[in-house]
Amino acid sequence: MTPQITEHPGMTLAGFSVHTGLAGSANLRDIPAFWQHYSQHHRAALLAALGTQTAPEYGVVCRFNPYTGSFDYLVGMEWPEGHPLPEGAERYILAPATYAVFTTPPVATDADFRAGIVDTWQAIYRDWLPASAWQAAPREVFERYDGRCLPGRPDRQIDIYQPVIPR
C-alpha cells in the first residue's frame, strides 16, 4: 500500500450530514445507511442545483471529537462559491492540506466494494501510518467517489484522502 502524497488546494462542498461515532462501530452501520438515504433523497437536488447529471461525490469525516470519537459524516459535492444551496444542505469548507491518497482495490460487487473501503481505512491506520514518515494531521479525512465507482463496473474503486504532516 503506497499512497501518493499530494497538496490539496481545498474546496467548498455542499451536502448533507449524519452524526455518528466510533463507539460500538456505529460508523460502520450509520455511514452506509446514510449513503443510501442520501442517494434516495438528496443527490438529485444537488445535481439539479449544479445543472448537471453527474459530479464527483465526497464523504467527509468532519467535526471529529477526539475525546468521544464522535463525528459528522458529510456526503456532498464540490460547490461553486456563492451558488445557492438546495433546501436542507449545508456548506462545508475544506482548507488546503497535505494528503496521503490511497486507492481502494478494484472490485466488482457491492459487498466487495464496501469491504474494500473499510479494509483500506483499517490498513491506513493499522499498517501504513505507524510505519511511515508521516503522521495523521488533525483535520478532515475524506473519500472521493467518481466515475470509477459506478455500479456495474468490474473494477470499482475510490480514493481515500488522509491528511498528514511529517513526523
Neighbours of 76 (CB within 10 A): 25
- What average pLDDT score do residues 115-144 get? 96
Q: What's the pLDDT score for residue 90?
A: 96
Tell me which residue range forms the domain holding 13.
4-166
Distance of CA 7 to the CA centre of its chain: 17
Look-up of cell digits 445507511: 33
d(CA 46, CA 89): 8
Q: What is the pTM of this model?
A: 0.94
CATH of the domain at 103: 3.20.80.10
* pLDDT given at position 1: 80
What pairs with residue 5 in β-bridges?
Answer: 100
Check if the beta carbon of residue 76 is closer than 8 Å to that of residue 57. Answer: yes
Say how many domains are in the chain: 1
Beta bridge partners of 6: 99
